[in-house]
């Protein structure tokens, strides 16, 4: 699918607007819909067209991408009144890039196939920085031939892209990603709190340990934001709490008890209770610091 494609895009939040913009930059025709039209203004100013509903967007598109907030949003946008399934044409490929439930991805995939279309679940990792720079990791599940057809489009948005198996597989890889990040974030915050209490230069600490065995995305990308007191979202706390819940639910379905992840959820629920659900995940430093009487 190297030719220019009629693409539908639903969801223009912190990451979605950048991802859709890369497709525009590649010369594809883009029709967008989002519940708050003003969030699409930047894309519309650059040449995207507006669709009045998900079904209208789907009716005029060969490939439809969604980048939404919650599994409930995915179900409504795909299966609800004036949803994608009401408008999608036979042969269309639907690509859900939302971090959502593996069970939901499998279920919607079956409904999509009844419409002679295919669904690829393709959640991403890399946050706002990865979305802005087209360096996302994209984890896919679904039909191999359909994946091959949309791969050139995915390459407009990311660098590391793999198909892991049938529908739901991409979501399960993303859950592995989120399980790892949850514990890493706790470690990053506690490491910085310790270094701060020891009166070390935090930026120098980050610069050194970030290049060694402890180096990770959290310390190198979010550590400096924590030091600067920048709590603005590259990835919302409320969405991370949602992801942790999905991971724990699916883990239980698989017969696993992940106690480290349960502890991370307790910490992030405290973040929500403190009123920071709409801040970035790095705000955990502020909350755990407060619990340690951080001045």
The torsion region of residue 256 among left (phi > 0), alpha (psi -120 to 50) and beta comes to beta
Selecting among 4, 81, 174, 290, the annotated active-site residue is 174
Please confirm, yes or no, whether 81 is among the known catalytic residues. Answer: no
Alpha helices per DSSP H over 83-211: 84-87, 102-114, 127-132, 144-154, 169-197, 202-209
Sheet order of strands, 136-140 included: 124-125, 136-140, 158-163
Q: Cβ contacts of residue 239 below 8 Å, gap of 6+?
A: 69, 70, 99
Q: Number of C-alpha atoms within 13 angstroms, CB side, residue 65?
A: 28
**Torsion angles phi and psi, residue 214, rounded to 5:** -90, 0
Best CA proximity match to 179, nearest among 115, 247, 240, 111: 247
Collapsed DSSP state (helix, strand, coil) of residue 281: helix
- Residues serving a catalytic function are 174
């Amino acid at each position: 699918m190297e030719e220019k494609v009629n693409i539908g895009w639903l969801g223009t939040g912190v990451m979605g607007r950048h991802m859709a913009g890369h497709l525009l930059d590649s010369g594809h025709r883009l029709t967008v819909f989002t519940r708050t039209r003003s969030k699409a203004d930047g894309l519309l100013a650059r040449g995207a067209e507006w669709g009045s509903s998900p079904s209208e967007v789907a009716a005029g598109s060969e490939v439809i991408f969604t980048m939404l907030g919650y599994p409930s949003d995915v179900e409504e946008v795909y299966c609800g009144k004036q949803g994608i399934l009401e408008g999608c044409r036979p042969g269309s490929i639907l690509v859900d890039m939302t971090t959502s439930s593996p069970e939901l991805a499998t279920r919607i995939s079956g409904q999509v196939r009844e419409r002679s279309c295919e669904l690829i679940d393709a959640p991403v990792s890399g946050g706002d920085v990865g979305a802005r720079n087209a360096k996302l990791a994209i984890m896919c599940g679904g039909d191999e031939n359909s994946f091959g057809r949309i791969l050139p489009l995915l390459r407009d948005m990311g660098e590391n892209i793999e198909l892991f198996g049938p529908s739901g597989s991409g979501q399960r890889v993303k859950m592995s990603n989120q399980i790892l990040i949850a514990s890493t974030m706790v470690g990053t915050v506690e490491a910085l709190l310790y270094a701060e209490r020891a009166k070390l230069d935090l930026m120098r600490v980050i610069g050194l340990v970030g290049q060694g065995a402890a180096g990770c995305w959290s310390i190198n990308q979010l550590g400096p934001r924590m030091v600067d007191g920048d709590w603005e979202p590259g990835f919302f706390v409320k969405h991370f709490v949602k992801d942790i819940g999905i991971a724990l639910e699916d883990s239980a379905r698989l017969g696993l008890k992940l106690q480290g992840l349960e502890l991370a959820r307790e910490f992030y629920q405290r973040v929500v209770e403190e009123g920071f659900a709409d801040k970035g995940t790095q705000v955990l430093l502020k909350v755990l610091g407060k619990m340690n009487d951080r001045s």
